[in-house]
A and B are shown apart, each in its own frame.
Chain A
Amino acid sequence: MISNRLAILGALLILLAVLIIIFIRMGGKGKTEQEPLSLPPEISQSSDEQQEKRKVVLFYLSEKDALLHPEVREIYAYTSVVQEAKQTLEELLKESQSGYLSPIPPQTKLREIFLTRKGVAYVDFSKDFQVGHPSGSTAEILTIYSIVNSLAYNFKSIKKVFILIEGVEKETLGGHVNLNKPFLPQYSLIAR
């Protein structure tokens, strides 16, 4: 009886020891795996000259008509679509370099962008996107499709765009266009 119990106890102790070893190993491994991730991304590894660039087309507004006008910009080329899409929108948030009007209120910041496997890009803007907006139908349509077109035109894997404000789904921007659904691009709005 006693030897039996001792054998069980021994087996349990060995099991515990094995578990502890596995736990420590996993922990160590986890750390070594995390290290490259915590390194700054590709930007900081190479200088500006070394980093490859690519061209993207942004869509701005004109004083003359209610159409979207293309403007070519350069961004850093990455293997990640999300990284490139983020840069593209960051560029769109800046003023036009050819004198066009910005379709996005000036204080607006891009909070985050996600891409689903089905090709829906979720774009999350700061509240200024809504607060500073002129809120007419035409203004809403142009703002939304400048963003949607700027993404879908440059990135094949982005099929639709869903717009969030402060991380939340909104009904509309200013009472007109429905924001509860993802948008397909509208290339008919582009000036020729």
Chain B
Amino acid sequence: MGDIKLRVRNLDAWYGDNHVLKNINLDILSRAITAIIGPSGCGKTTLLRVINRLHETVPNARVRGEVILDGKNIYDPDVNPVEIRRKIGMIFQQPTVFPHLSIHDNVAIGLKLNGINDRELLDKIVRKSLREAGLWSEVEDRLWDRATDLSGGQKQRLAIARAIALEPEVLLMDEPTSALDPGATSRIEALMTNLKKDYTIIVVTHNIQFAARTADYIAFLFNGMLIEYGVAQEILERPKEKLTERYLLGEVDLERWL
């Protein structure tokens, strides 16, 4: 058991009048994979976006409560959200690479725009990040080609390389494999297991098999509320809550509950 990297305290979030997260309390452990599972619309993506303060960039979105990263509440007024997002990387559901940039520059852009211009240093970090993301051998001879020619799985690994180039402390992943085929999915899963040695990973998924294969801890969210949270194996094999059990068995009909 590692240390606690991130504490979520009494967290509420809204989109306009829509109360999407209700009093969430959650401790995320360092250098482990925590999966947030639950049916569509349960608020799991919002929870992820609250953690790197991306939620508030949407018009009419609101947050109340605390997210404490290494002892500091990131919602304190003296905290710059831009700094927070540099420490907390994010991977999106749809592999998002910048189509106007080369493979190399897609990885380097975060550093470049943050003021790092040393070519040698950039090349070194790009190479290291691509290796860590398991993409190096596939792109080493075409680093200056456009990134749009890559396959979906390669694009997602490029997005991971772009995020880890900034050496974040936490990686947020929003259904990172739901747009990928099984081969690409298993590569990402292996990569995640590898990455958790260095990073705290929080992954949102509605795929229980995916969570079972990758996660150390699982949080089950339903209708904006945290229903159950604990060690992955226990949640999957012996859930304490009836609702968790029914969700895992595929018995929960979201429409009827809302």
User: Do these two chains interact?
Assistant: no
Point out residues on B near A: beta carbons under 8 Å: none
Point out residues on A near B: beta carbons under 8 Å: none
